[in-house]
Amino acid sequence: MSLAEEIVQLEEEALERIGSADSLDSLGELKVRYLGRKGPVMAILKSLGQLPPDQRKEIGARANALRSKLEARFEEAARAFEETTEAASIDPTLPGTGNRIGAVHVVNQVMDEICRTFYGMGFEIAHGPHVETDHYNFEALNFPPDHPARDMQDTFFVEGDLVLRTHTTPVQARELERRQPPMKIITPGKTFRNEEISTRAHVSFHQVDGFLVDEGVSMADLKGVLVAFCKAFFGEGLKLKFRPSFFPFTEPSAEVDINCFLCRGEGCQLCKYSGWLEILGCGMIHPNVLETAGYDAEKYTGYAFGIGVERIAMLKYHINDIRLLFNNNVRFLRQFL
DSSP 233-280: HH-TT--EEEEEEEETTEEEEEEEEEE-TTTTTS--TTTTTSSEEEEE
The pLDDT of residue 71 is 84
pLDDT value, residue 12: 81
Output the CA torsion 265→270→272→274 (10° steps): -10
pLDDT along the chain (337 residues), means of 10: 75 80 80 80 78 76 81 82 65 77 88 95 96 94 79 80 93 94 96 87 93 96 94 82 93 90 71 82 96 94 95 85 88 85
Give the per-residue pLDDT at 72.
85
Give the separation between CA 332 and CA 324, rounded to whole angstroms. 8
Q: Look at residue 52 in the predicted model and tell me its pLDDT.
A: 79
Report pLDDT digits (tens) over 295-336: 999 999 999 999 999 989 988 888 888 899 998 888 888 888
Q: What is the spatial distance between Cα 93 and Cα 90, in angstroms, rounded to a whole number?
A: 9
CATH architecture of 106-336: 2-Layer Sandwich (3.30)
Domain edges within the chain? 3-88, 106-336
Q: What is the predicted pLDDT for the residue at 165?
A: 94
In whole angstroms, what is the distance from residue 20 CA to residue 29 CA? 13
